[in-house]
Amino acid sequence: MDGRKYGKMDRVYSAYLDELNPRSNDDVQLALAASGDIRFKEFLERINMPKYRRASLATIAKACNITLTEFNNWWNRASTQRAIAVAQVGSVMITRDIIEDARTQNVFCPRCDGLGFIAAQPGLPADTLGYRMLEPIDGEDGLRYIRNCPQCNTEKVVRKVGDAKARDQILELSGLVKKGAAVQIVQNFGGASHASALSGLNSLNTIDGVSEEI
Ligand SMILES: [Zn+2]
């Protein structure tokens, strides 16, 4: 602290920098180190020097010729860039999740809960698929019958179509389709060109050949 009067602006500057806490805030230190302005690099060096340990942050900043307004503007820009960088890293992970949501997946058959068979009534026609009697359980009366699950046909799993919204988002993100725009598909029929506009993005999934009707 120098001998000059410690005015209101200095108190505001001090309070601002104390809040920012550059001595222990890693984000602020990183931004200072990455700054293209040598005054901010100098500020970072000084706040870490033992001989400035007791000096107020505002005093050090002013010694580096940085005004409160400059510091405030610099941090606004730096924190915005930092936030964007964090969002960009996060968006990669979120995109992976959306892709996962969009994919068609195998899930346990909801009809038979993944058993492959369901309970059946006695007396069904003999050619009913998988129609058979279960081993009787000790102490229980009555015979129990089962038949093949008609939904998964003993596969135990069924395909579950991915989330439609996630599919739209991935197609938009990848640039294959424009957000909210009709899908333009050009088809060729023996040299003749035929352009079709579809409103539903999911309709893309059904178009895989040159001769399919739209
Ligand atoms: Zn089933």
Distance 190 CA to ligand 1 centre (A): 45
Distance 168 CA to ligand 1 centre (A): 30
Q: How confident is the model at residue 9 (pLDDT cuts 50, 70, 90)?
A: confident
Distance 105 CA to ligand 1 centre (A): 15
What pTM did the predictor assign?
0.55
- Res 75: pLDDT: 96
Higher pLDDT, 37 or 135: 37
Distance 108 CA to ligand 1 centre (A): 8
Q: How confident is the model at residue 141 (pLDDT cuts 50, 70, 90)?
A: confident
- Res 182: pLDDT: 52
Of 131-145, 153-167, 195-209, give the range with the top mean pLDDT. 153-167
Distance 164 CA to ligand 1 centre (A): 24
Domain ranges within the chain, ordered by starting residue: 11-100, 105-160, 184-214
Distance 161 CA to ligand 1 centre (A): 16
Distance 125 CA to ligand 1 centre (A): 20
**HEC assignment per residue over the chain:** CCCCCCCHHHHHHHHHHHHHCCCCCHHHHHHHHHCCCHHHHHHHHHHCCHHHCCCCHHHHHHHCCCCHHHHHHHHHHHHHHHHHHHHHHHHHHHHHHHHHHHCCEEEECCCCCCCCEEEECCCCCCCCCCCEECCCCCCCCCCCEEEECCCCCCCCEEEECCCHHHHHHHHHHCCCCCCCCCEEEEEEECCEEEEEEECCHHHHHHCCCCCCCC
Indicate whether 206 pLDDT > 50.
no
- Res 205: pLDDT: 43
Distance 103 CA to ligand 1 centre (A): 21
Distance 134 CA to ligand 1 centre (A): 17
Tens-digit pLDDT profile for residues 113-125: 999 999 999 899 9
